[in-house]
Structures are given as structure tokens and as C-alpha cells.
Amino acid sequence: MSTDRPAGKARFAPPAQEELDPAERMGRDELEALQLERLRDVVTHAYQHVAPYRVKLDAAGVSPAEIRSLDDVHRLPFTTKEDLRVTYPFGMFAVPMERIARIHASSGTTGRPTVVGYTSADLDTWASLMARSLRAAGVRPGMMVHNAYGYGLFTGGLGAHAGIEALGATVVPASGGQTARQAQMIEDFAPQVVLCTPTYLLTLADALEERGVDPRSTNLRVAVLGAEPWTNEMREELETRLDLDAVDIYGLSEVMGPGVGSECIDTKDGPHLWEDHFLPEVVDPVTGEPVPDGERGELVLTTLTKEAFPVLRYRTRDLTRLLPGTARPAMRRIEKITGRSDDMIILRGVNLFPTQVEELVLAAPGLAPHYLLELTRRGKLDHLTVCVEPSSGRPADPDAAAEAEALVRRVKDSIGVSVEVRLEEPGALPRSEGKLQRVRDLRAST
């Protein structure tokens, strides 16, 4: 869905055809021929250099030479996060350590971290795809980009950084945290572009207001937002609050980092996947069977060009569907991600994602765009409390209390489940410093 924002600051124009990479201008047949050639190469590379892939492919009875069409990808075994964990730290690397130029790792809050590696050619590819993503968002050489994705082992900061430089823009390596100082830099340096998570942009908008700056008055024109699920309602909120275009960038460390796909500013209709480097499929999350384009399921990605860390049929756990290309006709899009299969809450038999609640909270004018889902146990049953705040900033605001009351009904009507809604004091809910945790699970202690 594309959202138009009210006329304010001039919008950035999309790149002209001649500014695009050759692959972005290919026809579908040419692109698929390239994908097939690369798929054969990557399967051969993984088979020859990564022992766990060799074992799995042998067990599945598939030899790299049998990859004759793109559909043959369905014959390859899946790779899961667990496969990466058991080979911690470097067991899935496909090149000798001397050729590894950089390492990143996931936070590992839910177990051992997953570690990924890049050769210098991989870093070049990543920078060029990140630059392509920024260009699609209307960013051009010479612009200033405030990069508030966290620097460090997380792929967001350094991945985006290299892309900004590759594009020829000016990078402000703000990283995460020190929000008051970041707001000041946005005011003083006047960047046109900001890169961060959608929830951190809300934090930045609050910090601008605290400085007495109207968030609509900055020089920011585009925000390139990702690393966590967010809804079109959140997009509208941010676009209106800051008077800019908010575009969606997708990626994950296991597959590369930010820039696996990105939205084009002219359509804002879900990230285009950069299919010259990644082969997407969507599968039924339970059976693992591929579903046709247009049907919802779990996104599965195969890297087509990575040297150090090739991944075959990686189960992302991200839920979406494949849609036809628009701004880049040959490259398919993913629908804005609704959530991850592991974020799904099953409440008395009803499946619920935090984004479904987000849509409803953001549609309630009396409520602030902050919310938290608190899971507890009452007797034998799970109980969900949606914690919200008044948008007026006034404690116990009667309008907000009425909206909170109405939210109980709206959740029941649209999601089909009974929840409690608790109106908190203004500022009581946790604010984002990067990726925001939406669910507080207190079931073990209640």
C-alpha cells in the first residue's frame, strides 16, 4: 500500500533509469538466467567448502550438477538458525579465515549468537546493494545521512555506513544511544536523510520536541527504516509527525545485513528484493512446502553471490508474501512484514501478532504511538494486557481513557480475542534505543 503524505517539504525524486544498476533494468528472463547461473555456482561452492552443507545435500540425494532450473532450489534442504548455532562460531564459513575481512554476530539473547563472515568482495557487494537501496529511497551523492543504526557486531550500523559511502553521500556515524545529542546533531548538521529503526525515529521525534524543535521543521526528507516489523499506520504517523517520506528497508545478518531488499520512494509498496543476489521463496511455515507467489507464508532466502557465508534456503521466520515488481518490474517485492513466526502470541487458540495491535493503537487519536503487550497467567489461561499511553501527555486523560476502553472492543472485533487495556502514565512505557521489544512475558512469574 502506498501512502501519500500531505504537501509539505518537497519530496525526493526517484532515480532516473540511467542511474540504476544494470541488474535493476534487466527483463525477467535475463534476470532468471543470471539467477540460475549463480544458483549453480553457489550450491557448488557450498558443497565443496562447507562440510555441513555437503552432509545435508548428500543426505537429500542432491548433487550440485543436478541444479538445472530455478525450481530445483526446492530440492535443496533448508538451513535454520539452529544449523548456524550448532556450528558456532565459524563452522559454516566457506573460505579460509585469512580471507575473512569482517565478522558480525547476532545479539544471542536467545542462545548462542550466530556469527557471520564476509570476504572483501562480500563487503563490496553489500555496500553496493545498500547504496542501491538508498538510491531507491531517493538519496543521492552529496546528501548528508544521519546513520542511527547501532554500530558494532549488529549489521545495521556498519552495513548502512558502507552503503552511504559507496553512494557518495556524507555519513554521520551517529550509532544508537545519546538521543539528546543526536537530536541536536539533526538540528545543527541539517541532514536530509535519517537511517534508524522506526521506533527509534519516534524516540528522536520526542527528543526534538523536548528541545523545543518542531519535528516537522528539520531538514529531514527521507527516513530509511527497518530492522523490526512496523505497520503502514506507523509509517503514516512518522511521515506526518516529521514531514518526510518513510521507506522500508529489509535485511538480516544471516543473509547479509540491511539491504537484502528495499522500498522505492516512488511506490512505497513493500521492499523490492534485490533478486540478482538473493533467490526468494515463500513456504508454508508448518509443512515447509513452497506456496505460489501472492500467498502468505515464511520467507526463505538463498544467497546467490556470497563467498564467505553462502546460505541455502535460509528459513528467515519472517512472514510475508511475494508480489510482482512495480518500480523495478523484474524484481519481486515482499509485502510489508507482519511479524516473525516466533513473535506470534497464541491466546486462547487465536494467533495474534504485535503489529495487529499496533494498527489499532495508532488508529486511536487519543493514544500515543507507544504500546507494550504484557502476557500473564490467570489461573490456567494466558492473559494479554495492552499497555498504552495518552497522546495528550496528561495523566489519566479522560479522552485517552475512553479510547483505551474502545480499544478493548476493537481488538475483540478485528482480532477476535479478549484483552485488557491499561492506560499508563505518560512516558511510562519503554522507549526505543534500536530494536524495541514489544512483548513482556510475565507468565513464568504469575
List residues binding ligand DLL (CB under 6 A).
Answer: 106, 149, 154-156, 226-229, 248-253, 257-258, 316, 318, 337, 340
Q: Compare residues 327 and 421 and give the one whose CB is closer to ligand DLL.
A: 327
Q: Compare residues 45 and 435 and give the one whose CB is closer to ligand DLL.
A: 435
Minimum gap (Å) between residue 156 Cβ and ligand DLL: 4
Task: Spell out the long-range contacts of 102-109 with Cβ–Cβ below 8 A and sequence spacing 24 or more.
Answer: 102/158, 103/153, 104/153, 104/154, 104/155, 104/158, 104/253, 104/257, 105/153, 105/253, 106/153, 106/253, 106/254, 107/153, 107/154
Minimum gap (Å) between residue 354 Cβ and ligand DLL: 11
The CA distances from residue 205 to 183, 227, 337, 359, 429, in Å, are 8, 18, 24, 20, 16
Q: Compare residues 229 and 366 and give the one whose CB is closer to ligand DLL.
A: 229
Residue 2: count of CB within 10 angstroms of its CB: 12
Residue 99: count of CB within 10 angstroms of its CB: 16
Compute the distance between CA of residue 227 and CA of residue 370 in angstroms, rounded to an integer: 17
Strand-pair partners of 239 = none
Tally of CA atoms within 13 A in the half-sphere of 350 that contains its CB: 19
Residue 294: count of CB within 10 angstroms of its CB: 11
Measured from each CB, the residue nearest to ligand DLL is 226
Give every strand in the sheet of 297-303, ordered side by side: 278-283, 297-303, 314-320, 339-340
Minimum gap (Å) between residue 157 Cβ and ligand DLL: 8
3-state SS assignment for residue 412? helix
Minimum gap (Å) between residue 59 Cβ and ligand DLL: 27
**Which residue type, as a one-letter code, is found at position 23?**
A
Compute the distance between CA of residue 329 and CA of residue 247 in angstroms, rounded to an integer: 18
Compute the distance between CA of residue 223 and CA of residue 216 in angstroms, rounded to an integer: 13
Minimum gap (Å) between residue 196 Cβ and ligand DLL: 8
Minimum gap (Å) between residue 227 Cβ and ligand DLL: 3
Q: Compare residues 95 and 227 and give the one whose CB is closer to ligand DLL.
A: 227
Minimum gap (Å) between residue 320 Cβ and ligand DLL: 9
